Amino acid sequence: MSAPAATAVAWAGADPYAAALRAGRGPLFLRRADGWLLPLEVERWCARADAVDRDVLDRCEGTVLDVGCGPGRLVVELASRGRSVLGIDVSEAAVEHTVRLGGRALRRSVFEPLPGEGRWGTVLLMDGNIGIGGDPRALLDRVARLLRPGGLLIAETAPVEVDERVPVRITDGRAGAGAPFPWARLGTRALLAHARGWDPAARWTADGRRFAALRTRPGHGAEPPDRGAVIGGPRTRDT
């Protein structure tokens, strides 16, 4: 099984993750093989977009794709502003939560075919989602194919400078853990080092969280767009 597929299967079938989203609270962690735990901020993810989130969303351009949207706080905030936005997540619980709040979301991996390929104005990789698949360059190449020429990627990076690719499991810290899957943690410098074919647009820190914005170059990752795909339209959940 490929790394992206393994990641999608692990998150989609992670009972502690689904339970935490439905409850709106943790504890929830990513656990490395050596026992180190990375806390996941479920309460913040399930709350409304905060001031730091809103500042990020102010920077978005055109149509927005939120990759790994979780319970949908960013999708819902953008939709409330009248923006065209779609969230994707491999977790059924996450998609259901987003749709219940009035956002549009699909249950799908970023590595699967998606609506509007080659035409998105902005792609978001928030809350550590630069780690999806455990291969940052593969993820960045995929995002480049989703964006229009000159499109914008906004990624939230680790609060420390790190460049780590390791297998992890999802756990609530109490009873067992899910299947292992590849994950990555990148600080801003590491992200920029992996971002060949991208132009740095901005970097900033707010309330202890770090972000970087990158812009695609002409021809980077370009593929013929899926002209039959619909970005607007009714709320949809793909199972």
pLDDT class of 44 with cuts at 50, 70, 90: very high
- Indicate whether 4 belongs to any domain: no
Convert the pLDDT of each residue in 152-190 to its tens digit.
Answer: 999 999 999 999 999 999 999 876 667 899 999 999 999
Q: Which pLDDT value is given to residue 184?
A: 97
Which residues, including other chains, have CB under 8 Å from residue 197's CB and lie 6 or more apart? 141, 144, 216, 217, 220, 221
**65 is in which domain, residue-wise?**
49-164+183-216
Whether 57 and 206 have beta carbons less than 8 Å apart is answered as no
- Indicate whether 93 belongs to any domain: yes
Cα separation of 29 and 31, whole Å?
Answer: 6
pTM confidence score: 0.87
- Indicate whether 76 belongs to any domain: yes
Q: Which helix (H) or strand (E) holds 201?
A: strand 198-206
Q: Which pLDDT value is given to residue 231?
A: 36
- Indicate whether 196 belongs to any domain: yes
For residue 195, the domain's CATH number is: 3.40.50.150
Q: Alpha helices of the chain — where are they, by DSSP H?
A: 3-12, 15-23, 42-46, 51-58, 73-80, 92-100, 136-146, 188-194
Which region among 26-35, 44-53, 98-107 has the lowest average model confidence (pLDDT)?
A: 26-35
Residue 9 corresponds to which tokens in the numbers above?
A: 């299967």
Whether 107 and 47 have beta carbons less than 8 Å apart is answered as no
Whether 20 and 71 have beta carbons less than 8 Å apart is answered as no
Q: How many domains would you assign to the chain?
A: 1
- Indicate whether 13 belongs to any domain: no
Would you say residue 224 has pLDDT above 80?
no
pLDDT class of 229 with cuts at 50, 70, 90: very low
Which region among 28-42, 144-158, 165-179, 195-209 has the lowest average model confidence (pLDDT)?
A: 165-179
Helix axes 51-58, 73-80, angle to 10 degrees: 60
- Indicate whether 17 belongs to any domain: no
Whether 161 and 190 have beta carbons less than 8 Å apart is answered as yes
- Indicate whether 188 belongs to any domain: yes
- Indicate whether 208 belongs to any domain: yes
